[in-house]
Amino acid sequence: MPAEAMDVALQTSPHDLGLGTTGEARRQIEVCNACRYCEGFCAVFPAITQQKVFTDGDVTQLANLCHNCRGCFYSCQYTAPHEFALNLPKALAEERAESWERFAWPGVFGGLFQRHGVAVAAALIAALAAMFAVVSAARPAGGDGFYAYLSHAGMVAIFAPAFLLPVLAIAIGLRRYWAHVGGAPVTWRALVDAFGSAGRMKNLAGGQGQGCNFEKGDRYSNARRHCHQSVMYGFLLCFASTSSATLLHYVFGLEAPYDFISLPKLLGVPGGLLLVAGGIGLAVLKTRADPALSAARLWGGEMAFVLLLVATGLTGLLLYAATGTAAVPALLAVHLGAVLTLFLLAPYSKMVHGFYRLAALTRDAQLRQTR
Amino acid sequence: MSTPRELAATHWDLVVVGGGNAALCAAIEAAEQGASVVILEGAPEPYRGGNSRHTRNFRCMHHAPLSVLTDAYEEDEYYDDLLRVTKGETDEHLARMTIRASEECLPWMEAHGVRFQPSLSGTLSLSRTNAFFLGGGKALVNAYYNTAEDLGIRVAYEAQVTHVAMNGTRFEAVEADIGGEHVTIAGRAVVLASGGFQGDIEWLARAWGPAARNFLIRGTPYNKGVVLKDMLDQGAESVGDPTQCHAVAIDGRAPKFDGGIATRLDCVPFSVVVNNMGERFYDEGEDVWPKRYAIWGRLVAAQPEQVAYSVIDAKSIDLFMPSLYPPETADTIEGLGQKLGIPGTVFRNTVEAFNAACQPGTFSHNALDGLSTSGIAPEKTNWARPLDTPPFYGYSLRPGVTFTYLGLKVDDGARVSGTTGLFDNVWCAGEMMAGSILGQGYLAGFGMTIGTVFGRKAGQGVAAYLNGNHNNAR
C-alpha cells in the first residue's frame, strides 16, 4: 500500500472485541504487526509487515496464506488469558472459511459441506446409491474389466460434467477472490514461486525445517507436513493415472483394463497408497491437535473430507486388487461413488483450500516480486 | 503434575525459585550434572517465563560470524556500549566476565532447543550485535521447558515462594503457596531467579513516590519482589538503586500490566511532544529512536500525572513502526487537543511557536538530518518540520516499566553474599541480580545475556557444590 493512501480509520484498538470475523482477524493482525516476533515462521508475517493498515481484501489474502501451522500461537505472548486474547491461527481459519463461502458459486452451497461432515456423508451415500443403481441397472452388453459393468460412454456421461462443472465453479470463486484481494495479472514468475512453495509445503516447515506445532503442543513436528505432502502427491498421481488412461483410450486406442506395467497403474497404485497413508495420518493428527486453534465448527466437515479422500484411494486400490472377482461390481460402485462425491463437493468442501492457497501464494509472490 | 505434598515430600538437590530464562538455564545445567531439580514458577502456566516471555534477542560477543550474527563484536566494543547506557554504573569485572561468557552461550542455547533467526525487519542495525529468537522469548521459554521436561525436572506453576528458610549462612528450605496449599520444600541448594519488584506498585511508589501509581508495568505482573525482600530482610547484600529500572515511554492506552513489545510507540522523533498542559519539555529530535527510546520513560514520569502526548501531522503518519492503538485524529490542533484532553490554548500556542521556529532544510527520516528549530526552548535538533498538514494525529505516552534494578549482590559464580560473606548454598541469577551490572539505562538484549550467563553459572556452581568440589566451581 502506498504511503499516501494510509487510512488510519481502518485501524482498530486491541481492546475492540466482537468485530465480526474479518474485523477480529484485522484486530489480531494489527497486534502482530506491532510485535513482529513471529516474522521467521511463515509467509504470513513478512506479508503483514509490508503494511500498516489492512483492508478487507488484505485480511482475506493473509487468511488464505495461513497454513494453520500454529507456530505463532505457541510463541505468542498475547494469547488468552492475556487481555489481547490472540489466537491468530483460529482467527485466520475463520476468515478463510468464511471467504470461501462468500466466493462460492453457486453461493447456496457455500458453507454446507465445509461445516457439516454429515452433509458430506449424505452426499456420499446418495452418490453410492446412484452408482449402485447405474451399475446394476444399466449393465452394458459387452466390455472388459469394469467396462463390463459400466460402459465407457456411461462413465464419460457421468464424470465429464461431474468434473467440468466443479472446475467451472472453482474458477468463478478464484476470479472473485482475485478481484477481492486486488491481484494483478498473473505472471509466470509468480506461478513458479507459488507452486514451488506448495510443492515443498514451505509454509508448514516452521521457517527452519523444524515443522509445525500442530499435534504436539509447543514442540515442533514435521508429521503434518509429510502427511499433507503424501496426500497431495498421492492425489495428483491418481489424477495423472486417470488422465493417462484417458489419453491411452482416446489417443492410442488402448482400453482398460490395464496391466500392472502400464502408465495408469504405475501412477495410480503408488498414488492410491500415498493418498490412503497420508489421509489416515492427517486424520489421526487432527484428533491430536487442539481444535481451539482452528475454526472448531469446521472440524466435522474437514474430517469427513479427509476420510472421503482415504475412501477414494482405498476403494480404488481394492477395486484393482479384486480384478476378475465377483466383488468388482460392488467395489466399482463404491469407488465411483466416492470419486463422484469428491469431485462434486470440491468447490464447497475443504478440497477448495488447495486452489485458494495457490491463489494466495501467487498473490504473495507477486507482492514480494514487485517490492 | 505432582501435588504440592509430593513436591514437599522430596528432599531436592536443587530448588529453583522462578521460571524464566535464568531459572531454566540454572535448572538445566544442574540437572544435566545429575541433580534432582524442582522449579517453582509463580505464574500460571500460560504466563510462565517472567519477562523472558516478552524478550526477543540476546546480545552476544563474537570474534567472527557466529550463527545468525554477522562480522565480529568484540569485548571492548560491547563494554563501551554498556558504559554508554549505564554512564559508568556497572561492575566492570562482572560486566566483562558476562560479555566474554556470552559467546559460548549462543551455541549452548542452540543445543538446548533455542532457534535464532536473522534480525527482524526494522532492526537491521542489530544484526551484528544481537541474535533474535525465532518466535521471540516465549518460544525460547517453551524450548527450555521442553528440555527441562526431557531431563526429568519437575515444574510447579502458581507456586508463590513466600520465604527462604536460612540457618545461618545455609539454605534449608523454601516456604511456598502452591495451588492454595502452604508447603515447605527442602533442598540442598537454591537458585533464586524470581526477578525484580515492578509488579508490586506499592513498593514502586515507596521507591519512586506517588507518581509510580501512574506507571504502566510493561513486563510480567508476577514479579512482586517477595523473595527479593525476604532475602534483603535476612541480611543478603543488595546492589542497585531502587529507583532505577528499565522504563520506556509506551502508548498511554496500554494495559496496566504485561503489555510487552507491542505497546512501543516510534513516532516521537517526528513529533512535537507536549505534557497535559500543552507545553513541550524535551528535544524530541535528539537522536534516532532506538538510542533515545529508553530515556523517555523517565522524561514522561517527571511530567504532571505522568502523561505526555506525541503529535504529528499527515506528513509523518507513515514514517514509523505500526502502532498498537489507532491515533486520535482531528483537522485542527485545537480539535486534537480536545480529543486528547489538553485544555486551553497553550497547546495551540506551543505548536504555533514551534512551527515558527522551524528552519528550512532537507528532511530525511532515516538519518540525523540536522533540521532544527531556532529560538525556542527546548529546541528540536533533528526532523523539525512544522505541524501544518491536517489531519493531525496524537498518541498518548506513559512510562512503561519492564523491570527494576534493585537486586542481590553475587560473586563471579552467581553465589549470593550475606553480611558475613558468601552464603553456603544460595545462588541468584537474572533480573534479581542484574543491577550489579546494569546500574542504569538499558542495552537491548543484555537482560537475556545476564540471565543466561548467570543462570548457567548458578547451575554449574550448584552441581559442583553437590558433587563436593565447591572450590572448583568458579
H or E element at residue B402 = strand B392-404
B267 neighbourhood in chain A, CB within 8 Å: none
In whole angstroms, give the CA distance from residue A263 to residue A247.
10
In whole angstroms, give the CA distance from residue B469 to residue B464.
5
Task: Give B410's contacts (C-beta < 8 A, 6+ positions apart).
Answer: B94, B416, B417, B427, B428, B429, B433, B436, B454
B363 CB within 8 Å of a chain A CB = no
Alpha carbon of A215: minimum distance to chain B alpha carbons (Å): 15
Confidence of residue A315 (pLDDT cuts 50, 70, 90): very high
Calculate Rg over the CA atoms of chain A. 22
For A131-158, what is the mean pLDDT?
80
Taking only the tens place, the pLDDT of each residue in A274-286 is 999 999 999 999 9
CB distance A74–B138 less than 8 Å? Answer: yes
pLDDT at A3: 42
CB A212 within 8 A of CB A222: yes
Taking only the tens place, the pLDDT of each residue in B155-196 is 999 999 999 999 999 999 999 999 889 999 999 999 999 999
Task: Please list the ranges in chain B whose pLDDT falls under 50.
Answer: 472-474
pLDDT at A120: 82
For A212-224, what is the mean pLDDT?
96
pLDDT at A1: 37
CA distances from B161 to A355, B232, B314 (A): 55, 15, 52
Alpha carbon of A57: minimum distance to chain B alpha carbons (Å): 19
B115 CB within 8 Å of a chain A CB = yes
pLDDT at A46: 95
For A60-85, what is the mean pLDDT?
97
pLDDT at A18: 85
Alpha carbon of B130: minimum distance to chain A alpha carbons (Å): 14
Q: What's the grid cell of residue A152?
A: 465407457
Alpha carbon of B319: minimum distance to chain A alpha carbons (Å): 9
CA angle A209, A211, A215 (to 5 degrees): 170
Could you identify the residue written with the cell 490395464? A258
Taking only the tens place, the pLDDT of each residue in A219-271 is 999 999 999 999 999 999 999 999 999 889 888 888 877 888 899 999 999 99
CA distances from A105 to A109, A166, A172, B25 (A): 8, 9, 7, 56
In whole angstroms, give the CA distance from residue B455 to residue B174.
19
Q: At what angle do helices B75-86 and B92-111 cross, to 10 degrees?
A: 120
For A16-44, what is the mean pLDDT?
95
Model confidence at A4: pLDDT above 70: no
Single-letter residue type at B241? D
Task: Give A148's contacts (C-beta < 8 A, 6+ positions apart).
Answer: A139, A140, A142, A328
In whole angstroms, give the CA distance from residue B462 to residue B456.
10
DSSP string, A261-329: SSHHHHHHHHHHHHHHHHHHHHHHHHHHS-GGGS-GGGHHHHHHHHHHHHHHHHHHHHHHHTTTSTTHH
B53 neighbourhood in chain A, CB within 8 Å: 77
What percent of chain A is modeled with pLDDT above 90? 72
Q: How far is CA B7 from the centre of its chain?
A: 31
In whole angstroms, give the CA distance from residue A65 to residue A93.
10
pLDDT at A137: 79
B326 neighbourhood in chain A, CB within 8 Å: 8-9, 11-13
Closest alpha carbon to B56 in B113, B123, B112: B123
Query: Could you tell me if the ipTM is greater than 0.90?
Result: yes
Taking only the tens place, the pLDDT of each residue in B246-289 is 889 999 999 999 999 999 999 999 999 999 999 999 999 998 77
Alpha carbon of B93: minimum distance to chain A alpha carbons (Å): 33
CB distance A33–B54 less than 8 Å? Answer: no
B260 neighbourhood in chain A, CB within 8 Å: 35, 77-78
Best B110, B325, B336 residue to mutate vs chain A (most A CBs within 10 Å): B325
In whole angstroms, give the CA distance from residue B49 to residue B143.
11
Residues linked to residue B404 through DSSP beta bridges, in sequence order: B245
Chain A residue at shortest CA distance from B321: A34
Q: Is B394 exposed, middle or buried (0-12, 13-18, 19+ CB in 10 A)?
A: buried
Determine the 3-state secondary structure of B339 from DSSP. helix
Better-scored residue on pLDDT, A136 or B271: B271
A14 neighbourhood in chain B, CB within 8 Å: 262, 324-325
CB B229 within 8 A of CB B197: yes
In whole angstroms, give the CA distance from residue A308 to residue A275.
11
Q: How far is CA B81 from the centre of its chain?
A: 17
For A114-129, what is the mean pLDDT?
85
B44 neighbourhood in chain A, CB within 8 Å: 81
Model confidence at A5: pLDDT above 80: no
